[in-house]
Structure 1
Amino acid sequence: MNLPSHVDVCVVGGGQSALALGYYLRRAERERQRRGHPPLSVVLLDRRDGPGGAWLDAWPSLRLFSPAGYSSLPGRLMPTPADGTAPDAAHVVAYLADYEQRYDLDVRRPVVVEDLVGAEDGRGPTEVRTDHGHVQARAVVNATGTWDRPFWPRLPGIEQFAGRQLHTHDYRGPDAFAGKRVLVVGGGNSGAQIAADLLGTAQAVHWVTREPPRYLPDDVDGRVLFEVATRAVRARAAGEQAEGVGSLGDIVVVPPVRAARDRGELHADPLPERLTRHGATWSDGHSVDLDVVVWATGFRPALGHLRGLDLPRRRGVPVTVAPEGATSEMRSADGSPLWFLGYGDWCGAASATLIGVGRPAKEVAADVVAHLDSPG
């Protein structure tokens, strides 16, 4: 595969955040050309074999929290599934594939970005090193998400457990767990959904959480969550106190979770004290035998390719700032031509969602273009 040797913008990633950014950069390019500027060269580097991002790895029963009309990227409404239900992962993959074709986005795949080398003055082009060669970019936007960096907690006995252990990252549905005794660890949406998904297939399902699970009201879906997040962003921009979506709860009650909960089959126990070779034990002395542990314990930003840049960090992620007039803290605080998009509240409220990434993507595109057009 041939990569361009020099580009204006290199986007690391090819999922929903990268595509939303590509859309706004396309719009910016048309506007710049009307003002007499040369074309804007943009390339998106995606490590996957095909379009769809992390949705390619989702288990079959996983569905969006909201109807299609409230789960769309900017510029293109997601079609409603034929059965009228919330879209499943395959529907989202098809939508993303259509989206990148519709806007003629230059996505190169599969390309693995291995390292970034900044300019000596901290302002010039950045060298993006990949398994298919190097690209000199005047601006780099990281849109790698979190899916490729699953978080594995430390629980006593984890190394001694003789059964299978896997993370949400590798869960592909219940069929592989028929007749198995499964421990599902995690009190968020993934933990609840996987536990519900395994009921009726696994021999036994034990769902354990650090704190008692907090269900959102049954009528709250992604639309409400986005509205709450949007109000919080506006309030904070005005210097006011505001509660985000976390104040509502942790678990969206999608139909399978609601059905299992209402049947009395979905309930959570506290975390075990430790794993043993063949199961888990609790501080009160009781124990269970297990064949499998599923860790639904979340993810961290996938930024290993930035390890050579020595960026200032806070709470484990690069320090970012919001440019003047922006609501999202998405530009690297060290002044280098480096941006971040789609990692959630760190760099834009709800930016890790389909509907929520639009606003920060627009702001990143505007700041990138302003940088490219600035004198010098």
Structure 2
Amino acid sequence: MNSRPRPVDVVVIGAGQAGLSAAYHLRRRGVAPASASLGHDNHRTFVVLDANPAAGGAWQHRWESLRMATVNGIHELPGAPVPPADPGAQAREVLPAYFGDYEDRFDLRVERPVAVHSVRREDDDPNGRLLVETDNGAWSAQFVVNATGTWTTPFWPRYPGQERFRGRQLHVADYVSADEFAGQRVIIVGAGVSGVQLLDEISHVAETTWMTRREPQWIDQEFDIPTRVAAIAGIEERVRQGLPPGSVISVTGMHWTPWARAAQARGVLVRHPMFTSIDEAGVWMPDGTFRAADAILWATGFRAALDHLAPLRLRVAGGGIRVDESRATDERRLFLIGYGPSASTVGANRAGRAAVTAIVRELADAPVAERVA
């Protein structure tokens, strides 16, 4: 491990869709991977740090039954289309391979596995540098692009008696396939896309009960451009104020998907109100009745993985970090992409390009970082 921080102009944290988009645009704008610039002291440099053992971002962790035909929202990485694939192929096989080929094709030289523990200011100079501390040494950067996504921070609601349940509790992040629930009584909690998709899947082999906090507002029309723009605008305003981003569904309502239609046709798309407490063998309902269960699947979403940014003290009273056009309002050297309004594959690509445009413009007036071999 290096004892002295290695200087670069830009550190990109995360190599999912957002991080690779930023790296691609840095490459296009003449910024070189740090490992490719030794001996060239006049080069601007960047490094991509990824905690995963292999390429593919969150796709490599998706459940095995997720197929290319049922993936919700794939968009190509900038400059390279997604290769044709069998609709029945596993998404966690096809897409990580695509990401790996992309890294090689554009020579992005992602360093992995590297876990970032903290990002802090090196000193009190607002125009100074940021220190990125990892389990493999530290980096000193003029700018940090945070692209850590959400997959590593699943959200688990808390209910009375939760710790007493003798069955299995798992989050969508832990789901493998419906086979493990064959013949069981499964409660599925959550109104998002993954909750409905897994309800449809598990209900073929198990007795399922679907529960949500609020009655879903089903929307018949397609998720068109005006609807998407309105949703993004709402989330943009939230992060601008320093509020947690929230979900697109909370803004737009639930849109019909093929798996929602399929579950409806089989009579399993029946929403129940949330239970009030959990007992050893099941849950207690608001009307005082008891519903037995062998498993509870929490399809309750994820939160942005931002704990490593805590030393910067950017969280405000609203609970979030104030962000305007992907840039932290209270720390101008930090960009958050794949966060809030850019937390989609299309949005991540655009945010990566916009962040790099701003960074390269400001690097033009900054000294080139001293190289350390």
Q: Shorter-chain-normalised TM-score: which range?
A: 0.7 to 0.9
Given candidates 178, 191, 209, the residue that maps to 1:206 is 209
Instruction: Give the match for residue 165 of structure 1.
Output: 169
Instruction: Give the match for residue 243 of structure 2.
Output: none
Q: Structure 1 pair 22/375, CA: closer, same or farther in 2 (3 Å)?
A: closer
- Secondary structure of 1:259's aligned partner: helix
Contact 1:128 / 1:135 at 8 angstroms: preserved in 2? yes
The answer on 1:268 being equivalent to 2:271 is yes
Instruction: Give the match for residue 367 of structure 1.
Output: 358
Instruction: Give the match for residue 294 of structure 2.
Output: 291
Contact 2:285 / 2:291 at 8 angstroms: preserved in 1? no
Separation (CA, whole Å) in 2 of partners of 1:86 and 1:231: 34
Q: Structure 1 pair 170/233, CA: closer, same or farther in 2 (3 Å)?
A: closer
Separation (CA, whole Å) in 2 of partners of 1:195 and 1:358: 31
Deviation at 1:4, TM superposition (A): 7.8
Deviation at 1:246, TM superposition (A): 5.3
The answer on 1:190 being equivalent to 2:194 is yes
The answer on 1:331 being equivalent to 2:327 is yes
Separation (CA, whole Å) in 2 of partners of 1:29 and 1:87: 36
Separation (CA, whole Å) in 1 of partners of 2:231 and 2:173: 30
Select between 351-360 and 139-148 the one with higher mean Cα deviation.
351-360
Q: CA-atom RMSD, angstroms? A: 2.9
- Secondary structure of 1:182's aligned partner: strand
Gaps of 5+ in 2: 33-40, 237-247, 368-373
Deviation at 1:235, TM superposition (A): 11
Separation (CA, whole Å) in 1 of partners of 2:299 and 2:356: 33
Contact 2:208 / 2:268 at 8 angstroms: preserved in 1? no
Deviation at 1:262, TM superposition (A): 1.5
- Secondary structure of 2:269's aligned partner: coil
Give the residue type in structure 2 aligned to 1:170: D
1:54-65 aligned within 5 A: 54-62=58-66, 63-65=70-72
More contact order relative to length (CA 8 Å, sep ≥ 6): 2
Deviation at 1:280, TM superposition (A): 0.7
Cα deviation code 1:278-326 (max 9, x no counterpart): 10111222221111111111111101111112124253221123xxxxx
- Secondary structure of 1:159's aligned partner: helix
- Secondary structure of 1:355's aligned partner: helix
1:125-136 aligned within 5 A: 125-136=129-140
The answer on 1:229 being equivalent to 2:228 is yes
1:40-79 aligned within 5 A: 40-62=44-66, 63-66=70-73, 71-79=75-83
Deviation at 1:119, TM superposition (A): 2.4
Instruction: Give the match for residue 17 of structure 1.
Output: 18
Separation (CA, whole Å) in 1 of partners of 2:235 and 2:130: 33
Contact 1:228 / 1:245 at 8 angstroms: preserved in 2? no
Contact 1:141 / 1:341 at 8 angstroms: preserved in 2? yes
Instruction: Give the match for residue 39 of structure 1.
Output: 43
How many residues get paired? Answer: 345
Deviation at 1:247, TM superposition (A): 5.2
Give the residue type in structure 2 aligned to 1:107: V
Give the residue type in structure 1 aligned to 2:166: A
Q: Structure 1 pair 231/161, CA: closer, same or farther in 2 (3 Å)?
A: closer
Deviation at 1:17, TM superposition (A): 0.7
Gaps of 5+ in 1: 32-36, 238-243, 322-327, 346-350
Contact 2:64 / 2:90 at 8 angstroms: preserved in 1? no
Separation (CA, whole Å) in 2 of partners of 1:136 and 1:352: 27
Separation (CA, whole Å) in 2 of partners of 1:234 and 1:209: 25
Instruction: Give the match for residue 34 of structure 1.
Output: none
Separation (CA, whole Å) in 1 of partners of 2:155 and 2:233: 31
Instruction: Give the match for residue 282 of structure 1.
Output: 285
Percent sequence identity over matched residues?
A: 38
Deviation at 1:98, TM superposition (A): 1.8
Instruction: Give the match for residue 220 of structure 1.
Output: 222
Separation (CA, whole Å) in 2 of partners of 1:187 and 1:236: 18
